[in-house]
Amino acid sequence: MTTEIDRAVEAFLAERPPGEAAAASRPELSPLAQELNTLWWREVEKIFVRVIRDGSDRAVLSPDERLLVDHGVLDWRLVPGGDKNKSVFLKELYASGRPNQYFFSEWILQRYRLFLLYGGMSGVEGEGISTTRLIRDLRGRLYTRLMRLFKNLPGFSQQSLDLFLNGRIDETLDAMNYRLKEKPDDRLAEQRRQIAEVRNRMIARARERARTPEDLALFDALRQVDREAVEKRVSKHLATDEAASRAVSTEERDGWIQGELKFVKQVLWLGLPGSGLARTCSVLLTDQPRIVKSDLDGTLALAEQCDPMLPEAASIMIAPYAGGGFYMWDHDTLVVPLIPTRDPDQAVLQSLSNYRILLDKFHDNGRFKKEYETALEGGDDFGTSFAREYRAWVTGVGKGFKGALDPERFACFRDRIGPQAAILYAPRGWVGRTPKEQDEIVRAAKVKVGSGEARFEDFYRLAIVAYHEHQPIQATQHLQSA
């Protein structure tokens, strides 16, 4: 604890009467709270700079550091009740959740690990170091034809897209494959898995934009090339490829963490379009209920049923601030507050509605916005009214209360947001399959049926296919078997 922090804490406590929890309860507390917030960000930067300077991709924070970073505990004197509930706080932080759910420090460190992976690749396209020259040329032609679908992908920087489109990610994976065949290495295998996961998600995100059979056929062709690449013998030139071994300098690591923290700080201070945020305080000054990972699951599951065409975001972050939820496009992250100003489900749905608005803006040139405003003949600001009605659609209509929306709005959401019998009769994970992928899945399901090993999911897939092929009797039979 620094002297500067100690003085700021004492000044704040002198102005806040005992038992008064909220910093916003009196205007004169706001400048003092913002001074604490400035000091908190300074401490957060110190922690992360120290942690990442060891160069490890397995950097972790201590429990006390996580309390400061993730829960905003700058000083226990500021927290109503003091540190008597410290064990409860820690239990909240270390509780498990979905793989893509993070508190602030977990999210930063996950992004740091990806930064190290990108930083370990040269931005210069290699010569003769791909699996084979033919494979590299085939991929290059496909990437050129698909390039428009990779523009402004949510969650991917221009650097990462360039590394993918110029073949460096593929070459890095090839180099890692060669080394792992020569000598097993658990750490290298984990790095290879992470890079492959990034590549797969990048392709999946681009495929979501495919609107024509020709585009889907190109993704089928890319998948076939990838299969052939696995089967081909790896070139020995990969043994010395620097793409898999370049070290990221201390200066690069420091610059990255400072830039990343500066971005998040600006977002929480200035807000983002549709976020409703401005001048938030990350220091914990209240004993109001906090969001934990388990609070997210029920609302997310209900939203998946009510809005099945909405792609899953890469990450969901619980950030230390009070307010509502929003979506960060550049980071492909749904952000929800540690301290929600409304119920936790409202914060989650606000972030999802913000996500859908941005997808419509950047992917579909505002087509849904135009249809929405035309169908409802104007009214409130689109962002405000859509967020309100999206919450009603999920938490009202989604739970069986059709009257949560008036007839016109219900029809609008039913026809444009909800499950569509004509184009979708399946969970979100089945959406966006290419024709060849669908054929392979159906063939596999039929094999299982023939061998007596079929499960519910196999019969259900076959029922969907039969339904779309206008075979209602077969569809019904498959559903009965399921």
DSSP code of 378? S
Q: pTM for this one?
A: 0.79
Query: What does the alpha-carbon distance between residue 335 and residue 71 come to, in Å, rounded to a whole number?
Result: 15
Query: What does the alpha-carbon distance between residue 21 and residue 4 come to, in Å, rounded to a whole number?
Result: 22
Query: What does the alpha-carbon distance between residue 345 and residue 325 come to, in Å, rounded to a whole number?
Result: 10
With residue 328 as reference, give the H or E element that holds it: strand 326-328
Rounded to a whole number, what is the distance in angstroms from the first to the last CA of the chain? 62
Query: Which tens digit of pLDDT belongs to each residue from 402-438?
Result: 889 999 899 899 888 987 655 544 555 555 566 677 7
The SS3 assignment for 317 reads: strand
**Residue 139 CA: distances (Å) to CA of 83, 99, 225, 375, 464:** 57, 31, 7, 44, 33
Q: How many residues does the chain have?
A: 482
Q: Give the model's pLDDT for residue 274.
A: 55
List the beta bridge partners of residue 335. Answer: 317, 326
Query: Which tens digit of pLDDT belongs to each residue from 363-405?
Result: 888 889 998 888 886 566 888 889 999 999 999 999 888 889 9
- Residue 253: how many CB atoms within 10 A of its CB? 21
Could you tell me which residue, 323 or 120, shows the higher pLDDT?
323
With residue 35 as reference, give the H or E element that holds it: helix 29-52
CA torsion through residues 262, 266, 269, 272, sign: negative
Query: Which tens digit of pLDDT belongs to each residue from 51-85?
Result: 988 766 678 899 999 999 999 999 999 998 888 98
CA 390 to chain centre: 20
The SS3 assignment for 338 reads: strand
Query: What does the alpha-carbon distance between residue 428 and residue 409 come to, in Å, rounded to a whole number?
Result: 23
Which ranges of 364-406 does DSSP label H, i.e. alpha helix? 367-376, 382-395
- Residue 1: how many CB atoms within 10 A of its CB? 9
Query: Which tens digit of pLDDT belongs to each residue from 178-215?
Result: 888 888 888 888 888 888 888 988 998 898 888 788 88
